[in-house]
Amino acid sequence: MRWLGRSTLRSMADVVIPATVGDPADSAASTPLHPRVMVVTGMSGAGRSTVAKVLEDLGYFVIDNLPPGLMGDVVALNDVPEGRKRLAVVVDSRGGLPSDELQGAVNRLRAAGVETTVLFVDADDAALVRRYSESRRPHPVPAATVTESITAERDLLEEIREGADLVIDTTDTNVHQLRRQVEERFRDQPVSQPMQVALVTFGYKHGVPREADLVFDCRFLPNPHWVAELRPQTGKDPAVADYVMGNPDAVAFLDRVEDMLSFLIPRFREEAKSYLTIAIGCTGGRHRSVTLSEELRRWLEEHDISATIRHRDIDK
């Protein structure tokens, strides 16, 4: 990971974000354009460092532990003629992180025409406690216990999480799964892109995904788990898919979800929402939700909507 020290950053205080100006007849190659900016923040122990390393592997220039007030200066120094450079800024809670300070910095970048995405990495408290117990590292927010430190940090970051463009929950995700998830989201992204949709399937007995924007419950459908020959299979197998989609209620359910998304997605785009996470759940997350999400992905792609899919609990 590339690092930029605080002392170096303080010397940039007089740098301002330049506006993109010039005669339309000028060559595009001679006109400075801002890099795309990814602001990575979130709970300590949730995987910020892993996300930053993956972004660097994908071609982002990564700066860690940057004070929000200096984000504009760094962007100004990274303007490039082609306008294709991608910059990732990792912001954490060391020393305190007022939500209005970060949001103000993001708002200033966007007002200057800089494409800026805030990515929040999260995990539930039990997972964070376990990770800190295993690593034996001190938590950056001082308190009497790790649990109290996590609680204090969550309170500190609550508004930032609410305003994030994208939340990645790593509670049930190992390092390798997180890497694949970030790569799927951000590999080969063009400078200007349509809203990306992520489908996540889950089992209600394992908990609802925290990162979901929309949640659909398909437990009203007959469960293939109770059919002996279908139980060991998953919703990706043709026999299970035929069983699920052979029910008229499954077809009606998908029709209504598709109608809703046909209404919502254009409006989310108008509000400049870059990412939409749709979760579909059944009891165990292996059969009904998997089949329905695969069908929904096909429908999205038929309508030229970029979609990824993750079957969170399919192997449980």
Q: What's the average model confidence in pLDDT over 110-120?
A: 89
Q: For residue 151, is pLDDT > 60?
A: yes
- Comparing 248 with 155, which gets the higher pLDDT? 248
Average pLDDT over all residues of the chain = 83
Q: For residue 191, is pLDDT > 90?
A: no
Q: For residue 32, is pLDDT > 50?
A: no
Residue 293 makes CB contacts below 8 A (sequence gap 6+) with 199, 200, 201, 235, 280, 309, 311
Kindly report, residue by residue over 52-103, the tens digit of the pLDDT.
Answer: 999 988 888 898 888 888 888 888 776 654 445 788 999 887 766 667 788 8
Least confident of 10-14, 53-57, 92-96, 256-260: 10-14
Q: 47: pLDDT confidence band, cut at 50, 70 and 90?
A: very high
pLDDT at position 31: 43
Please, where are the H alpha helices in 48-135?
48-57, 71-77, 99-111, 125-135
Q: For residue 298, is pLDDT > 90?
A: yes
Q: For residue 16, is pLDDT > 70?
A: no
pLDDT at position 234: 97
Kindly report, residue by residue over 130-140, the tens digit of the pLDDT.
Answer: 998 887 788 88
φ and ψ at residue 279, rounded to 5 degrees: -110, 135
- Comparing 15 with 114, which gets the higher pLDDT? 114
Q: 110: pLDDT confidence band, cut at 50, 70 and 90?
A: confident
Residue 182 makes CB contacts below 8 A (sequence gap 6+) with 50, 51, 54, 55, 58, 168
Q: For residue 311, is pLDDT > 50?
A: yes
Q: What's the average model confidence in pLDDT over 111-140?
A: 88
Q: What percent of the chain has pLDDT over 70?
A: 83
Residue 6 makes CB contacts below 8 A (sequence gap 6+) with 65, 67
Q: 184: pLDDT confidence band, cut at 50, 70 and 90?
A: confident
Question: Are residues 135 and 47 in contact, defined by beta-carbon separation less than 8 angstroms?
Answer: no
Kindly report, residue by residue over 212-253, the tens digit of the pLDDT.
Answer: 999 999 999 999 999 999 999 999 999 999 999 999 999 999
- State the Cα–Cα distance between residues 113 and 115, nearest whole angstrom: 6
pLDDT at position 138: 85
- The reply to whether the predicted model has a pTM over 0.75 is no
Q: For residue 29, is pLDDT > 50?
A: no
